[in-house]
Structure 1
Amino acid sequence: MNNNFILVHTTILGLVFGLVEGLGRDHSLWIDLLIWFRLLDSTKVASPPSMFMLMLMSVCVCFTCFNRVYNTSCEEPLVMQTGPSLCCTLDNIPLISKCGALPPESCWFSLLCSAGSFVVMLIGLLRYAQVIHRQQNSLLNMLGLCTGWLCAAGLIVVGNFQVDFAKVLHYVGAGLAFPTSLLFVCVQTVLTYRLAKTHADFIAAHLRLTLSLLALVTLILSGVFFMQESYALQHAAAVCEWLFVIVILLFYGSFCFEFRFISADTLVVLMQKGEPHPCQNDCKLVSPTGPSLD
């Protein structure tokens, strides 16, 4: 079966599985991880970055339902609750940060954010070299690299400084990671249109444009709703925040279609410090088992 077909359908199944199974109050993270590692191994998807992003997406979606205070103690209305710790308040909204604030979720949250930041840096660097190899270096290409690495830096800060214990640093990291990730996908969308030559290239460009617009809308709505004191709007902010992250991860996963054609010549570009490649405008990235990409 085609690897791209498997990747898309497994991603959709991962999102559905994470949302449905995560609703159970006694759901085990360890069982979910075991199932998904086995599923990833069975799919044999060609691109390691896409495999990592698929795993990261499925695990992160499950975190939405792991805020135990929110998920297990709201059995009576807020007005009837007593005691020092209340649930169903604005402090218990299942935002990404809140779902990864307490152990053991915080341990996995830090681990995945740190590993994810490394993959983001790697993808940004490979994409930077690939654009030079296929066309030429440009200010826009450099901007894509810089925004990707800034997003990775913000992701490290977000993952290792939980919101309940280091709120200022956490919000600094979030303020760095979210806008730069949006800028990164926008820049890469423009670069995709500039490099597009075949029908498949334009399909990928249209897909990335759609994802970029979705990311823009969800990030704006998340920010607007997050500033409100309304309990319902705070929930809407959490939904938009999770949708934004899912869209960004899907965008990163779309690079698997192009990274399959990375060769040693592409990596040589990095050592040449962006100098023009001999086949700069007529270069064809040839697949080891199929026709050229262009």
Structure 2
Amino acid sequence: TNRNYNQSCGVDSPGSCCTLDHIPLVSKCGTLPPESCFFSLICSLGSFMVILVGLLRYAHLLERLGPSLLNTLGLATGWVCAAGLTMVGSFQVDHAKVLHYIGAGVAFPTSMLFLLLQSILTYHMAKTRGQYWTGHLRSILTIVAFLTLIFSGVFFIQESFVLQHVAALCEWMFIIDVLVFYGTFTFEFGAISTDTFLVLLKASRTPKSYKEESSVSSTAHIHSHAEGLAMA
């Protein structure tokens, strides 16, 4: 009775039978309408939230730690993950498998890297016991995400019916773990104010203002040197 899930079952097969083509992976649960519509919508909203959270996190760390290569890498990996997530939602696996797998191949590793970088940055910023506990929590979530992602990939390529279901379970656990990780940012985002955005705007304008100041100072130096030569 559950729609296309049992189409491949034989006449005498039980009503709950399932083949390797119907393993409840995340992508397989969003291939047919109306589920595919919600799947695409959720992925698009999710990619937008990843961009927004990544930018807020970057601004918050920029205010607390100043310019940092790890912080910039965290922002970049988050935005690349958002691009991959958009591809995953836009191209369903049963209709555009290559593009779907390209998006998944971009989104999953960069999401894992984003978690790792943010865990490291949490320890760099930590000063209180609560902040260190937040770092411990994120480290645990990062380890769980890494293990579930590895197991999901290993079991996914197997032909075993049981292992394919384990891969689906690991994939769902990975996604839930990532969502919980993003939820931990509420600890820091509660301290975000207008000053945070001013720091972000100031940082984006720093190279331009530096060039203007450099050009002005160099021009003033040339003029003073020319005046000195004229007086001499």
How high is the TM-score relative to the length of structure 1? 0.66
The aligned length equals 204
Q: Does 1:220 align with 2:157?
A: no
Q: Does 1:163 align with 2:98?
A: no
CA distance in 2, matches of 1:135, 1:188: 13
Q: SS of 1:96's equivalent?
A: coil
Q: Deviations over 1:122-179 (max 9, x none)?
A: 0000100110101111111111000000110000000010001000000000000000
Q: Does 1:206 align with 2:139?
A: no
Q: Does 1:69 align with 2:21?
A: no
Q: Does 1:236 align with 2:166?
A: yes
CA distance in 2, matches of 1:188, 1:164: 34
Alpha-carbon distance change, 79 to 184 in structure 1, aligned in 2, over 3 angstroms: farther
Given residue 153 of structure 2, which amino acid in structure 1 is its aligned partner? G
**Residue segments in structure 2 that go unaligned for 5+ positions in a row:** 207-232
Q: SS of 1:242's equivalent?
A: helix
Given residue 168 of structure 2, which amino acid in structure 1 is its aligned partner? A
CA distance in 1, matches of 2:157, 2:4: 23
Is residue 94–residue 238 contact of structure 1 (8 Å, CA) maintained in 2? yes
Name the counterpart of 2:228: none
Name the counterpart of 1:256: 186
How much has 1:268 moved relative to structure 2?
A: 1.1
Is residue 20–residue 161 contact of structure 2 (8 Å, CA) maintained in 1? yes
Given residue 145 of structure 2, which amino acid in structure 1 is its aligned partner? A
Name the counterpart of 1:131: 61
Name the counterpart of 2:80: 150
**Residue segments in structure 1 that go unaligned for 5+ positions in a row:** 1-24, 26-66, 276-294
Name the counterpart of 1:91: 21
CA distance in 2, matches of 1:105, 1:256: 30
Q: SS of 1:229's equivalent?
A: coil
Is residue 151–residue 167 contact of structure 2 (8 Å, CA) maintained in 1? yes
Is residue 58–residue 71 contact of structure 2 (8 Å, CA) maintained in 1? yes
Q: Does 1:180 align with 2:110?
A: yes
Name the counterpart of 2:210: none
CA distance in 1, matches of 2:199, 2:12: 65
Is residue 215–residue 248 contact of structure 1 (8 Å, CA) maintained in 2? yes
Q: SS of 2:87's equivalent?
A: helix
Q: SS of 1:117's equivalent?
A: helix
Q: Which has the larger radius of gyration?
A: 2
Name the counterpart of 1:195: 125
Is residue 63–residue 199 contact of structure 2 (8 Å, CA) maintained in 1? yes
Q: Which has the higher helix share?
A: 2
Is residue 155–residue 167 contact of structure 2 (8 Å, CA) maintained in 1? yes
How much has 1:87 moved relative to structure 2?
A: 5.6
CA distance in 1, matches of 2:65, 2:93: 43
Name the counterpart of 1:33: none
CA distance in 1, matches of 2:114, 2:189: 17
Name the counterpart of 1:110: 40
Alpha-carbon distance change, 205 to 164 in structure 1, aligned in 2, over 3 angstroms: same
Alignment root-mean-square deviation, CA: 2.1
Given residue 159 of structure 1, which amino acid in structure 2 is its aligned partner? G
Q: Deviations over 1:88-120 (max 9, x none)?
A: 111100000000111111111101100110000
Alpha-carbon distance change, 79 to 236 in structure 1, aligned in 2, over 3 angstroms: farther
Q: SS of 2:203's equivalent?
A: coil
Given residue 73 of structure 2, which amino acid in structure 1 is its aligned partner? L
Alpha-carbon distance change, 224 to 78 in structure 1, aligned in 2, over 3 angstroms: farther
Q: Deviations over 1:18-64 (max 9, x none)?
A: xxxxxxx8xxxxxxxxxxxxxxxxxxxxxxxxxxxxxxxxxxxxxxx
Given residue 193 of structure 1, which amino acid in structure 2 is its aligned partner? Y
